[in-house]
Amino acid sequence: MKFLQMTAAAAAVTLVAGCATWTFEPTRSAKFVNEENAYLHVDYGIEEHESTFYGPGGVQMPFKSNLKVRVEMPDGARFVAYQNMSTDGRLYVSGNERWKFLEKGVAAYVAERAPDGNGYLLRYQGTLCASVRNPKSERQPMRHSSSTPHGFGRESSGPRDSSGPRSKE
């Protein structure tokens, strides 16, 4: 009986911890768009995390970070990933290593572990189209404009029409 109670308590703690990971308060958000005009939504947050970086020749190095992301794919798939060491951009890897999110300049890539477990398959590739520093205060209903995806405030730092001021004709 005591074993059953301990197991139930452990399951409850795991469930709550998993929910806490998913419901973190974002410090900034970004949207990326691909060639099919499908959006990838990324929230950035803070949580201490330690991982191991495997260098050339199998050298293992501990890596500590306090950065994480919550990613929502265009098809509705969602995951949380933690920053990992990378020589090729800002890399985030999910706790179970199923997902990888790589941000390189204004490009974003999402890869999912292959079904056979060997390597990763590219699931999304897009370009930054909008970013906000404080998503809680800047996300608000707005008139849709071609330069800012719906759901982001007009003051977001996404790309703008660079043709200069428009004159009334």
In a domain, 44, yes or no: yes
Contact in structure between 126 and 107 (CB atoms under 8 Å):
yes
Q: Which amino acid is at 97?
A: E
Q: Report if residue 115 sits inside a domain.
A: yes
Residue 97 lies in domain: 27-134
Domain assignment present for residue 123? The answer is: yes
Rg (CA), the chain: 19
Domain annotation covers residue 19: no
Interval 44-70 mean pLDDT = 83
Question: In the prediction, which pLDDT does 136 show?
Answer: 57
Place of tokens 């005591």: 2
| Average confidence (pLDDT) over 125-133 | 90
pLDDT tens figures, 102-121: 999 999 999 999 999 999 99
| Single-letter amino acid, residue 134 | N
Residue 2 or 24, more confident:
24
Q: What pLDDT is recorded for position 81? A: 95
**Per-chain mean pLDDT for the chain:** 74
- Residue 159 included in any domain: no
Q: Is residue 18 part of a domain?
A: no
Per DSSP, the three-state class of 146 is coil
Residue 116 phi/psi, 5° resolution?
-85, 0
The predicted model gives 15-39 an average pLDDT of: 76
Q: Yes or no: say if 71 and 78 are a contact pair by the CB < 8 Å rule.
A: yes
Residue at 45: amino acid letter: G
Q: Is residue 93 part of a domain?
A: yes
pLDDT tens digits for range 7-25:
444 444 333 334 445 567 8
Reduced to 3 states (helix: H, G, I; strand: E, B; else coil), residue 25 is: coil
For the segment 24-43, the average pLDDT, to the nearest whole number, is 93
Q: Check residue 131 and give its pLDDT.
A: 84
**Both structure tokens of 22:** 């998913």
Total count of domains within the chain = 1
In angstroms, rounded to a whole number, what is the distance separating the alpha carbons of residues 164 and 150?
23
Q: Looking up tokens 């933690």, which residue turns up?
A: 82
pLDDT at 91 exceeding the cut of 80:
yes
pTM: 0.65
Residue with the bigger pLDDT between 129 and 139: it is: 129
Which CATH number characterizes residue 91's domain? 2.40.128
Residue 85 lies in a domain: yes
